Amino acid sequence: MDRLDNTVRPYAWGSTTAIPALLGTEPTGEPQAEMWMGAHPGAPSRTGRGTLADLVAADPEKELGAASVARFGPHLPFLLKLLAAGAPLSLQVHPDLAQAQQGYADEERRGVPLDAPHRNYKDANHKPELICALTEFDGLCGFRAPTETADLLDGLGVASLKPYVDLLRAHPEDAALREVLTAVLAADPEEMSRTVAETAAACERLGGVYAPYAGIAHHYPGDPGVLAALLLNHVRLQPGEALYLGAGIPHAYLNGLGVEIMANSDNVLRCGLTPKHVDVPELLRIVRFEPGDPGVLRPEASPDGEEVYDTPTDEFRLSRYVLPEGTTGHDLTLAAPQILLCTAGSVRAGEHDLTPGRSVFVPAGEKAEVSGNGTLFRATVRV
């Protein structure tokens, strides 16, 4: 197995302290948003044998196993991250596989450069993802029932919200949600900025269930995404709880530290809370206008101590081991590639000592025994 040396991405929304605190290093004062573990070409993990991307490219079947290559191709199908949000991320959705393939082919045909700011599809893959909280973790996930949102908006006492309240009380629910989101994103920017300012002031004054949205407005004053955010469920995860984000589900992470895993893709359609491009027609094609409970996941324990976060996605499988003191020689060998990440305590994986934030890559079929006292996340594929 190979110890991983991983890149930390300094996105503006990142916490300045959470990842350094986990790693036991001094903060630099700059945001440290995401630590990437995997073979993504944007920031592949480094090993003593070269980058993980180079290792996989040189011998896919040796590193990934024949079953993974047959199922997903000669690439590591997932990307594992530590994600530390100190401010809200953009409100976004991800396409399903067919939509991604169609959108990518269309932009390629039209000659839209891959690095163009208005490009939607960086690749032809979907991007389901899972976030598991290491600390209390706040996010938005999926549409709230429209009538509940109508009551929430009505309670703010902002006159310019009345048209949205009336639309949300109409039927059917999916059409009501579509009409409101379309109206918010297509509104006159000056009028919308005033409405958002009044809404933010009311959220700040009332607090309680409105407090998360007041915080969002503080970071993105005048952004129509503030009103789009009010359509969504607010979720507060406790450590060990998780959220699964499938295709078309609008979401945003607000604050906290977590382990994130996703299919290896960069495809994002933004709804707001960002200075980046918002392609409204394409967004409306991708969003699933289905209200519902966000569905907080808790791990399911197996007899060998593995706690699995079950999802319908094959490109990744995330689980956790909480190793009690005195654990020796616990066998994690798989006929599939895996990344092991320590998040608490001290764990020995093969010949490598792992402390919080440290990780290893285990090629398919490679012997993987762990010992020690700590928490270990395992990222692999379902084949």
Taking the C-alpha atoms of 207, 213, 219 and 223 in order, what is their torsion angle to the nearest 10 degrees? Answer: -130
Q: Which residue has the tokens 């100190």?
A: 86
* 235, amino acid identity: V
How far apart are alpha carbons 220 and 54 in whole angstroms? 40
Instruction: Tell me which DSSP letter residue 304 carries.
Output: T
Query: How far apart (Å, rounded) are the C-alpha atoms in residues 190 and 223?
Result: 10
Location of structure tokens 């928490």: 375
Of the residues 9, 46, 169, 270, only one is catalytic, namely: 270
Any catalytic annotation for residue 270? yes
Q: Write the DSSP string, 10-66.
A: --TTB-SSHHHHHHT----SS---EEEES--TTSPPEEBTEEHHHHHHH-HHHHH-H
User: What residue type is 27 in one-letter code?
Assistant: P
Q: State the pairing for strand pair 129-133/242-245.
A: antiparallel
| CA dist list (Å): 219 to 12, 90, 98, 226, 233 | 11, 11, 34, 10, 19
Active site residues: 270
